Structure 1
Amino acid sequence: MTKNTPFQDFIRYSFFSIMGMIAISCYILADTFFVAQGLGTNGLAALNLAIPTYDFIHGTGLMLGMGGATRFSILKSQNNQKGADTIFTNTVYLGIFFSIIFMLGGLFFSGSLARLLGANQNTFEMTNTYLRVMMLFSPAFIFNDIILCFVRNDGNPRLSMIATVCGSLFNVVFDYIFIFPCNMGMLGAVLATGFSPVVGLTIMSPHWLGKKRGFHFRKLVPDADSIRTNISLGFPSLLSQISAAIVMIIFNMLILGLEGNTGVAAYGVIANISLVVLSFYTGIAQGIQPLVSHSYGRKKTDGIRQFLRYAMISMVILSAVMYLILFVFADPIASAFNSEHNAKLQEIAITGLKLYFTSLVFAGFNIILSMYFTSVEKALPAQIISLLRGLILIIPIAFLFANLWDMTGVWMSFPATELVTAVVGAVLYFIYKNRLYSK
């Protein structure tokens, strides 16, 4: 990080991180496209009902990876190798623990979970299949997220990006093979997705198994302080993913009542495009995290502010470009996922694309600011931002707006939530910006 200018470091880490996050988001986007083509409206609705569980699994992996890797970056900048190894080892312990929980849930409770998420007789079997297999693959998802974060923070963002891109390409290719030539339906879609992180872990193995890595697994008794630090710093990353899951669950529930399975299928288009769009912001946030944490560990306040400024300027430019694309091309984007040429689905999706994504600049601000607070070990404001956008505000606003304005209210509840959260986030930033090194 010290051989380049700050701007060069920002471009390098953010670019590779954005590419990696886009690739991860394409795991589900590829499923959405091929399921829409192969299984139609009911298949798309079933997939959309199951996706929130993926957000919980991926969020858990990010919580452990980002929490552990953030602390690892700070300890590494201070040349504390023992502490770095301790935090990595305890992150692995946590990964094993949560993997077992998700696997048990997939074995014994996938059917109950499918019904809880809203599956009916037309969508239950496909939803249940996707949930069960995906939860059985949870160790691959969780450890892929963990290793990605540590490899990137260990000075190798390029390898992290290559691993995620290759995993995503594998998913796209085998989605097609399993769903169409092999005629495996929803099982094929989830198998392609499940094996994708295995590909990523394999590609990263020269680093995380190599002798030059900066983190090592040690035979240690689980350390309560390391575990607490990991979860505290990583919790906003989990909340960010949970917020996406909660939004999906609440919106699915509201839209089922307003427009039925066709409405849920239309929302599936918006929700999955949102995964890709928001991955740009998550990529920027994760890109500046090791840079900000490194500057924080060395008490370089100018560097911290500089990286945050680069991130926010990039976010505003990207938001304008992406919204323009989504607004102008809403019709062909919706058509790509509407294999049955359902006029009602098309109309709902086009309106949703134009209204839902007015949230972009506020969502990007919140995602980056939350990661900034995490990077400087200020977990509380990061958690406040994540809780507001993922739980405290979105639920009452969604129900209120849906009751007042039906589908228009559903679409506008997300921008309203992000706007209010952004205002609170700005206040928190001004409160905390002069307390970077307070304990």
Structure 2
Amino acid sequence: MKSTELINQPLHKSFIHYVSLSLFSMLGLSLYILADTFFIANGVGQDGLTALNLVIPVYNVLNGLGLMLGMGGATLYAISQGKNEREESRQIFTSTLIIGTGSGIIFTVLGLLFIDPLLQMLGATGNILPLAKNYFGIILLFSVFFVVNNIVVCFVRNDGNPQLAMTGMLVGSLANIVLDYLFIFPLEMGMEGAALATATSPIISLLILTFHKPFPKRQLAFSTVNWKINPFLSTLSIGFPSFITEFSSGLVIFMFNIVILELSGNVGVAAYGIIANISLVCVAIFTGIGQGIQPIVSVNFGAKKHTNIIHLMTYGFSTALILGILFYGIGLVYSDTITQWFNSENDAVLAAITKKGIALYFMAFLFMGLNIVSIAFFSAVAKPKQSFILSLLRGLILVIPLLFILSSFFGLTGVWLTLPFTEGLTLLLTIYFIRRYFKKANRLLLE
């Protein structure tokens, strides 16, 4: 869909179309780890689940790197399209892809050089260390594909082909699930099998995304790059909130693992692994809403359609709130069923910790979606300052101090309450930023 068609199409249709497809794409992305969690829990056991959860923070950094470049570059691409600057938009795509490839290679080299001290820093010791190393070593070898896939998905979506972006992510995830079962059970490859299954997903997704080339409305193409520092810095500044969101998720998991190891040992980390990985799916869905409205908001921002931007923000907020209530309700009603899926050894302690954790931790979903959608919204209208502040607040500034304060007073219960308190407090500032933006937009409409 060309930028002019996107602007002229009824707004609610564009919203439903882009958000639904983006949501399913991000759902597919999150299933990389959730499928590993399920099959490792049932095929390797509690130690494998603990090892996986200790490795996830580094995976979040890798995923965040791709999303930062993809969201930042694709937002600039969409704004350029809205201004009819075709050559500029193609240079943005080409340079982002080159930078992403180089970043993935550097990530692989550094990760392999320091794999043992890195995993030990994450808390992998004893019999957990070889399991974590087997999984993480394979993921590192495929770092470039994870980064480049996230970049290309964002650009294809912004180039008017969200269906293909969704298809690539979902087919890649489906392949991951099938291969997880095949490698872990019939072939008995354990952690290596789970990692290999996950690593094939972005490759399959990229192969599917190559079908964008004959897309009749395609504007995306390679171009000679005139390397300039300002577009690169703009890409990083706009996409940085997406990186902070992913990085903070990894940092939170890391810090939670350290605290929980002290309070409940490996069984507590395994319980948190179940809760955190289910949470990643919900976070991915909220991120999908934000990424879905981003192309429409960015194009309307480039075309100075302020009324459309306000309506899109309202749609995004409403969708996030409804889904947040739904996720929390599912957690309360089906906590026993969820726990049993990942408790193949029928460990009563694991079941009790997980059930209580779900009831408390899932309260964060009531506020989380509103914060994540707002962060994507401010990036889409080229206001990285607000996005950065909100991302930093929920990802670092609040969550880490609250974790130590609440856990010191309330033990494991305090750990589970950390995220709801963090998201609730962040929402207060989110509402302030949104109200200020709406007031400014309304003044522009009156001029």
TMscore range, shorter length: over 0.9
Match of 1:240 in 2: 245
* Matched ranges for 1:23-422 at <5 A: 23-208=28-213, 213-422=218-427
> Are the equivalent residues in 2 in contact too, given 1:151–1:208 (CA < 8 A)?
no
SS at match of 2:124: coil
Aligned-residue offset at 1:82: 1.3
Distance 1:47 1:209, change over 3 A: farther
The CA deviation string for residues 273-300 of structure 1, in whole angstroms up to 9 with x for no partner, is 0011111211111100001111101101
Identity %: 43
In terms of mean alpha carbon deviation, does 42-51 or 319-328 score higher? 319-328
2:23 equivalent to 1:18: yes
> What amino acid sits opposite 2:53 in the alignment?
N
Q: Distance in 1 between matches of 2:437 and 2:137?
A: 43
Partner AA of 1:351 in structure 2: K
What is the deviation of 1:433? 3.5
In structure 1, distance between residues paired with 2:439 and 2:146:
38
CA distance in 1, matches of 2:395, 2:106: 23
Residue 411 of structure 1: CA displacement?
0.3
Q: Could you say which residue in structure 1 is the equivalent of 2:429?
A: 424
Contact 1:269 1:349 in 2 (8 A): yes
- For residues 392-438 of structure 1, the C-alpha deviation after alignment (integer angstroms, 9 at most, x for no partner) is 11110000000000000000011101111111111122233445699
Report the alpha carbon displacement of residue 4 of structure 1 after superposing the two structures with TM: 3.2
Q: Deviations over 1:25-58 (max 9, x none)?
A: 0000000000000111100000000011111011
Aligned to 2:3: none
Cα-to-partner distance string for 1:37-83 (whole Å, 9 max, x where unaligned): 01111000000000111110111100000000001011001110111
- Residue 361 of structure 1 deviates from its aligned partner by 2.1
Partners of 2:391 and 2:140 lie apart in 1 by 24
Distance 2:166 2:225 in 1: 31
Which consecutive residues of structure 1, in runs of 5 or more, have no partner in the other structure? none
TM-score normalised by length of structure 1: 0.97
Q: Report if aligned partners of 2:80, 2:88 keep a CA contact under 8 Å in 1.
A: yes
**3-state SS, counterpart of residue 44 of structure 2:** helix
Please report how far the alpha carbon of residue 208 of structure 1 lies from its aligned counterpart in structure 2 after TM superposition: 4.6
Q: Distance in 2 between matches of 1:312 and 1:425?
A: 11
> Distance in 2 between the 1:192 and 1:3 partners?
42
Inter-partner Cα distance in structure 2 for 1:255 and 1:275 = 19
C-alpha separation in 2, matches of 1:209 and 1:98: 28
Amino acid at match of 2:361: Y
How has the CA–CA distance of structure 1 residues 196 and 363 changed in structure 2, closer, same or farther, with 3 Å as cutoff?
A: same
Tell whether the 8 Å contact from 2:212 to 2:218 is kept in structure 1 after alignment.
Answer: yes
Give the 3-state SS of the residue equivalent to 1:219 in structure 2. coil
Task: Tell me how many residue pairs correspond in the alignment.
Answer: 438
Which amino acid letter does the alignment assign opposite residue 34 of structure 1? F
Q: Is the CA contact (8 Å cut-off) linking 2:25 and 2:165 kept in structure 1? A: yes
Q: CA deviation at 1:314?
A: 1.0
State the distance in 1 between where 2:8 and 2:382 align. Answer: 25
Contact 1:17 1:284 in 2 (8 A): yes
Q: Can you list the C-alpha shifts for 1:83-119, whole angstroms capped at 9, x where unaligned? A: 1012112211220221122111232111111101000
The answer (yes or no) to whether the contact 1:289–1:372 under 8 Å persists in 2 is: yes
CA distance in 2, matches of 1:63, 1:40: 34
Distance 1:434 1:215 in 2: 35
- Aligned partners of 2:324 and 2:97: how far apart in 1? 36
Question: Are 2:69 and 2:239, in contact at CA under 8 Å, matched by a contact in 1?
Answer: yes
Change (3 A) 1:88 1:165: same
Instruction: Indicate the residue corresponding to 1:7 in structure 2.
Output: 12
Aligned CA distance change for structure 1 residues 209 and 44 (closer, same or farther; 3 Å): farther
Please report how far the alpha carbon of residue 209 of structure 1 lies from its aligned counterpart in structure 2 after TM superposition: 7.3
What TM-score results when the alignment is normalised by the length of structure 2? 0.96
Q: Secondary structure at the match of 2:9?
A: coil
Opposite residue 297 of structure 2, the aligned amino acid is V
Counterpart CA distance in 1 for 2:232 and 2:211 is 27
Alignment partners' CA distance in 2, 1:209 and 1:415 = 46
Q: Secondary structure at the match of 1:92?
A: helix
Give the Cα separation in 1 of the matches to 2:224 and 2:299: 27
What amino acid is aligned across from residue 246 of structure 2 in structure 1? Q
Q: Aligned-residue CA RMSD in angstroms?
A: 1.4
Q: Which runs of 5+ in 2 are unaligned?
A: 1-5
Mapped to 2, the partners of 1:358 and 1:274 lie a distance apart of 11
1:326 Cα offset (Å): 1.0
Q: The residue matched to 1:358 in structure 2 has which SS?
A: helix
Contact 1:45–1:123 (8 Å) recurs in 2: yes
Any conservation in 2 of the 1:77–1:298 contact (CA below 8 Å)? yes
Instruction: Give yes or no for contact 2:7–2:299 (8 Å, CA) kept in 1.
Output: no
Q: Deviations over 1:324-347 (max 9, x none)?
A: 111100011011000110111100
